[in-house]
Structure 1
Amino acid sequence: MEKNQLVNIEKEQLIFSLDIGTRTVIGIVGILDKDDKFKILATEVEEHKERYMYDGQIHDINGVTKIVKRIKENLEKTIGVKLEKVAIAAAGRALKTYRVSVEREIDINREIDKRIVESLEMEAIQKAQELLDKERKQSEAKYYCVGYTVVNYYLDGNFIENLEGHRGNNIGVDVIATFLPHVVVDSLYTVMNRVGLEVINMTLEPIAAINVAIKKNLRLLNLALVDIGAGTSDIAITKDGTIVAYAMVSVAGDEITEKIAKTYLLDYDTAEKLKVCLNKQNEHVFQDIVGIEHRLKTEEILQNIEESIDYLAKEIAYKILEYNEKAPSAVFLIGGGSQIPKLPEYISKYVKLPKERVVIKGIDSIDDVEEIPDELIGPHAITPIGIGIKAIKDKSKDFLEVTVNGQKIKLFNSKSIKVSDALVLIGFNPKKLIPRRGENFKYYLNEEEKVIKGEIGNPAEIYVNNKKANLEYKLRTGDKVEVKEATQGRKPKPRLYDCIDIDKKIIFNGREINLIGYIKVNGDIENENILIKENDKIETLELKTVKELFDYLGLNTNEYLIYKNGNLAKDNEIIKDKDIIESKLKELKPTHKVKSKNKISGRNKIRLIINGKEKTIRHNKDKFIFIDIFDYIDFDLSKPKGILMLEVNGNRAEYIQELRDGDRINIYWKRK
């Protein structure tokens, strides 16, 4: 087609398909015309100058990249359009296939649409992936789904050709899912990235080939399609109207080339050219590596390499029988390697079919393809044309490429690929999504082990294209996912008052008293809210009864009438937070009743320096303790303004500490 004929064709209509084979790379640009026929606009074919690939696997990425780049540039010159997207296929090297069935209950009032069908198919693929993951050894490479084929659909338990538009209670599907190792898929994508091509569709070579080589109405027959390339022979089998199996043999045309090279002492390229000419001419003239000239007829060469042809045919035949469990009705051969003389008859021998039932299928037998150039005439062009046609008809079932934490990955596009699916494929540890608790802190309170649990860390944060997302976020090709791992919480750093309840207080004769009489840390009295260290031993005196309270205050309960919350109380009466305790001397004149501050009379006196001021206090007690001071000074304990500091002669004091004449007393609030 001339350039001026391409003026009215939109770039989006173009399909660029690449078949990267072990020996040859074929590029085709085409469109689907108004009659649903694939029209070839341009094609380029180039052989590898060196052995960049083995058995369908890219080994020299730079070498393959150069060839693909040349093919792309030549096609662009021919059609006058820059190519940005491509459809590709992978050979079945290390292929794994799983046939799975799934069923789903649905709303009978809702019409089955395309989204429901695709969702059902993807559920089957996920089930196949789970089976593969269970069977895959830990040492094996990761596998990606490179394509799938629907065997049958079911509606309410009955076979049906197409689910769309129907209604029912239950739908089901049988699917054959095909998987290839990561390295096979990734190397193809690396080449495409290097030449600036976005992969819009990727499939398996036998899937692409069978979709054009064997019409759907022929799939009622039990047929085997074998795509014999240079490095691999890919097999697809049909039966009862559908594709029932895919398989791969890791021997192909190179097996024959290597035999020719060894038999006649030739370099690989010369041996390959000789092999290609075996079905084109009857006599061959060539020189071996030591300069000896050979002039041989095709029949002579075939006799010398018969062993390799026989071996290749046997491997293909046995694989067909393994997957089909019997001889198929017919075997179709495609691919460049299928043109090896005598190969069809050897395959027919091992498959146990008449010779006429094993045939080479050329491009001329494919319907709905127009303007096939001469260089594509033959069985070698079926796969690249099939790649293009499948890309057109199956645009929604391709791969999408996303980046997760800087790592590029490919996922089979099921229309519902979520962040969680991408994390599974890169092997992200799901435990890293869950916040972890910090280490626990241990201490001892009154000889009993206590534990403060570590803090909970922050949950993982997920961003897609720098915007906050979650595991259920549906991904599109090109999305950039960043996962910030969940964090571990901190180990607690408690203070003393976090470890004991210092808020239990009573009112005794109008003043507030803490029910924690004293606090010791590792044997030392502690009045401040200090940081506690791991395994510290805390000891407290907790006042629980009236008797314990009076003993703590240095008072004799026998000398007083004691009231709790207005009621007469006994020595063993339990006291609790916010109780009001009052006491009266059993004499008519209670000594603790403060009639007038600073003017209390008594038989004894003590001289103290309180907050820098000298004060003489008269009292009727046998000994004067620190807590008695509050009956003689104006200091409001009911409204805390920080930590209460009590000092005697510069040292921390206790409530029950006995005071002596001349002691220097400091009482003040220390800010927290």
Structure 2
Amino acid sequence: MGDNKELIFALDIGTRTVVGVIFKQQEDKLIVEESEIVEHERRSMLDGQIHNVSEVTAQVQKLKTRLEEKVDIELDKVAIAAAGRALKTVKGSFELQFKNNKEVTKEDVKTLQFTAVQKAQEELVAKSDKKSAAGYHFVGYSVIQSKLDGMEITDLVGQRGSRIEVEVVATFLPRVVVDSLLTVIRQADLEVEHLTLEPIAASNLLIPQQMHDFNLALIDIGAGTSDIAVTREGTIIGYDMVPVAGDEITEVICDKYMLDYHSAEEIKRGLADKEKFMIKDILDQDVELPAQEVLEEIEPKAEELANLIGERIIELNQKQPQAVICFGGGSLAPLLKDKLAQSLELPSNRVGIKNKQDSNQIEGEIEGVTITQGITPLGIGLSTYLNQNQANFLDVTVNDDLIHLFTLTEPKVSDALLAAEIDFKELEPNLGLALTVEVNDEIKVIPGEPGTAGEVRLNGEEVGIDAGISNGDEIEVEFGEQGQTGEGTIADVVPRLESKEIIANGEKIELKPQYYLDDELVTLDTPLHDRAEITYQEILTVGEAIEEIWDIKLVNLKERIIEYEVNGNRRKKRYSNYYVELNGNQVSLDTEIQSEDELFFEQLDQNADEKLTVDEALEGVDIASSLEIVMNNRPLEIPDAGFELLKNGTETTLDAEVNSGDEITYQPGEMTIKDVLDYINYKLSDDDLEKVEIKKNGVSAQLHNKVADGDQINVFLSTLSQ
């Protein structure tokens, strides 16, 4: 047999068939030389997973033998792909805290992101029956969002802050999927030249370079499952699988019209270009079926399948993709394309079925399959061609432990550390736990001290986790020291308070500030503990000094001040059970006190709740509602007719209560000598007026002269008529 150095052997092990393709490398493209298809004799493959290794191996050996006969070359290396439906996609998040604001480096971000990947890995292990992360191969991850000090930021590198966060979606492949594939290949006397994932292989073929910036959904709709991959900026960001596909629609036709599977499948494929079908049912009866009737019967199932796929796409992408590309035999199912567009609320022209490959790097087709069915094997060949210098499998050591590594991209130190379950956050200078205390109801935090950064060495040289690795490399990881928990004393969390020296009632007194930790009196050098409650008291006012010196609660010192007006003049009455002076002046309890002040305090036997009457409010005002005079040497009391006493504009009495804000008005009346004579009913005729002689306090007076309290009035007539 001939030399196979210029050939690529691509093998697609599917659920129903095994497809093999021989490519010849010619300048900058691949030429399809030969192809072969073998169907599984039994159900040895289920949902992309090998369930019967020996049966699958037998079919691979049969296909390999046929191809070797066609090309007259012994095949010893093969390119394969793992099914996308076996992938596990998990979200993970992590945050890094710095002691102070610092500039975020590329290494900080890589450590942050890969620690988030590890969190996703831990989540996956917790939800599965695997005992450790060694049960999964890491495939890749994409960032959902990054935050700096709580604010969403697209690129953290170069930013300044004290806290960075990231959420990623990471993808893992169960090791059993790869191991079973490798077992089949080894038993078929082949060696794996390249291993990729079916969605990656398909994307290489279906997405031309000019579409790499678009957000696309690729759907491989087969017979039993629909595999979904979402791409963004040329990278697959997530995978999922819906356990229904083209067979669901075929089974509707079988059940409705009592047809065998192959007859129903034939009708399904012909619905696009036939108006009616003549067919025999399982009772061997001839049946004529209008295409429109069949379409109406399968429409609910097509809509159900489209909705399931649409929901998973939105879950993966968190929004509508810009377009959807369908391939695989099930993608040709009638109505599915339009129903999927409706489910995603996309224009119908944004959902397409690939019936040709867009890569100009492959020439030729696979005989016996449609283009949609041949996309995966063609993509495997192209992926091998594009990654010829990249190893999928390599052995490295991490801290002297042998690690068998499988990667789909250029292998890096980070891949080896993930596989070795090295904790990435231990490489960062972790900040020690903070000490949190409560000071006078205010939360205060003493940050922990940062530890030292870890170190990664590749073959003896210090490197970053992004450094590339090769087979046989030796990696050493030295973890940094953990940061110390925050420490402090009372003096670290309270303000600097000074003592005061004053004279209190003639005695020299020192007023010291007091500190309490969990209600116990302590000193400034007392150590703090987490969640401690600290209170402090500084003597600032006269009232606080009285409490401290005389041990009297301020609540027991009562004072009431009533402010009012008398005839427009403001007055104030103070009721208090204490008396206090500061430096010789009467002051209130909230007056500030300073060193060297002289304080005088005494308690009084007085009721601060005592009422103020109008009579007391008019203290110092001469109140007279009548006049007492001497009339012709005889005492006489005369009511003052013009007297007024009002409170807030309303007549009141002397024993009425006065409150703050009241206005008291007092207006004494005016009385003349004539008013006095009228009161005692002295009548003076016109003739009498000429004969009368009036004296007030011994001085001649007239009838219109005013009379005051205590005046002496004498009236003389030669003849007095009444």
| Aligned mates of 2:416, 2:237 — CA distance in 1 | 32
The alpha-carbon distance between structure 1 residues 398 and 248, as it changes in their structure 2 partners (threshold 3 A), is farther
Alignment partner of 1:221: what SS? coil
Distance apart, 1:343 and its partner CA: 0.8
Answering whether residue 78 of structure 2 is matched by residue 86 of structure 1, we say: yes
Partner letter of residue 129 of structure 2?
Answer: E
Deviation at 1:281, TM superposition (A): 4.6
Deviation at 1:354?
1.3
Partner of 2:387: 394
- State the Cα distance separating 1:23 from its structure 2 match: 2.6
Correspondence for 2:406 among 409, 412, 428? 412
User: Which amino acid in the other structure matches residue 218 of structure 1?
Assistant: M
Partner of 1:182: 175
Question: What is the correspondence of 1:556-567 to structure 2 with a 5 Å cutoff?
Answer: none
Are 2:20 and 1:31 aligned?
no
Q: Which residue is 1:651 aligned to? A: none
1:189 CA drift (Å)? 2.5
Q: Which residue of 1 aligns with 2:315?
A: 322
Question: Which amino acid letter does the alignment assign opposite residue 328 of structure 2?
Answer: G
Sort the Cα spacing of 1:328 and 1:130 in 2 relative to 1 into closer, same or farther, 3 A: closer
Within-5 A mapping of 1:327-342: 327-342=320-335
Q: CA offsets, 1:517-545, max 9 Å, x none?
A: xxxxxxxxxxxxxxxxxxxxxxxxxxxxx
1:416-439 Cα shifts (integer Å, max 9, x gaps): 6999988879xxxxxxxxxxxxxx
Listed one character per residue, the Cα deviations across residues 2-44 of structure 1 (whole Å, up to 9, x for unaligned) are x9xxx6xx52332211222223322111133212x12211111
Is 1:133 aligned to residue 125 of structure 2? no
Q: How far did residue 134 of structure 1 move?
A: 4.0
Amino acid in structure 2 at the alignment position of 1:321: I
The answer as to whether partners of 1:21 and 1:230 remain within 8 angstroms in 2 is: no
Cα shift readout 1:334-383 (whole Å, capped 9, x = no counterpart)? 11111111110010010111111111112343322112245455222112
Looking at CA atoms only, which structure, 1 or 2, has the larger radius of gyration? 2
Q: Is the 8 A contact 1:362 1:382 kept in 2?
A: no
Q: Is the contact made by 2:50 and 2:181 (CA closer than 8 Å) also made in structure 1?
A: yes
Q: How many aligned positions are there?
A: 391
Check whether the contact 2:19–2:36 (CA below 8 A) recurs between aligned residues. Answer: yes
Q: Deviations over 1:213-236 (max 9, x none)?
A: 112331222222211122322222
AA at the equivalent of 2:21: I
Corresponding residue number in structure 1 for 2:291: 298
- Matching residue of 1:58: 50
The runs of 5 or more residues in structure 2 that have no matched partner are: 96-105, 147-152, 157-165, 423-468, 473-722
Q: Please state whether the residue corresponding to 2:339 is helix, strand or coil.
A: helix
The answer to whether the Cα contact below 8 Å between 2:205 and 2:358 also exists between their aligned partners in 1 is no
Distance 1:276 1:293, change over 3 A: same
Could you say what secondary structure the match of 1:362 adopts? coil
Instruction: Give the corresponding residue for 1:245.
Output: 238
2:65 alignment partner, SS class:
helix
Q: Which residue of 1 aligns with 2:376?
A: 383
Partner of 1:365: 358
Equivalent of residue 263 in structure 1, options 256, 261, 279: 256
Q: 1:386 to 1:418 in 2, by over 3 A?
A: closer
TM-score (norm 1): 0.50
Give per-residue Cα distances to partners, 1:87-131, cap 9 Å, x unaligned.
21122235222578999xxxxxxxxxxxxx9xx999977963563
The answer on 1:204 being equivalent to 2:197 is yes
Residue deviations 1:54-104 (CA, integer Å, cap 9, x gap):
32233333333332222211111111111112221122235222578999x
2:66 counterpart (62, 74, 91): 74
Residues 33, 39 of structure 1: 8 Å contact kept: yes
Q: Measure the CA separation in 2 of the matches of 1:260 and 1:409.
A: 52
Name the SS of the counterpart of 1:63 in structure 2: helix
Give the drift of 1:275. Answer: 3.6
**C-alpha distance in structure 2 between counterparts of 1:232 and 1:69, whole Å:** 26
CA distance in 1, matches of 2:86, 2:351: 26
Q: Residues 183 and 299 of structure 1: is their aligned pair in 2 closer, same or farther, counting only changes over 3 Å?
A: farther
> Which residue identity lines up with residue 209 of structure 1 in the other structure?
A
Write the letter of the residue equivalent to 2:240.
A
Q: What's the counterpart of residue 463 of structure 1?
A: none
**Residue from 224, 239, 256 that aligns with 1:231:** 224
1:445 aligned partner:
none
Coordinate RMSD, CA, aligned:
4.3
Distance in 2, Cα, partners of 1:345 & 1:159 = 38
CA contact (8 A) 1:93 1:180 kept: no
Report 1:146-185 matches (<5 A): 147-148=139-140, 177-185=170-178
In the superposition, relative to structure 1, how do residues 314 and 196 fare at CA in structure 2: closer, same or farther (>3 Å)?
same
Q: How far does residue 209 in structure 1 lie from its aligned partner after superposition?
A: 0.8
Which residue identity lines up with residue 121 of structure 2 in the other structure?
Answer: L
Equivalent AA in structure 1 for residue 117 of structure 2: A
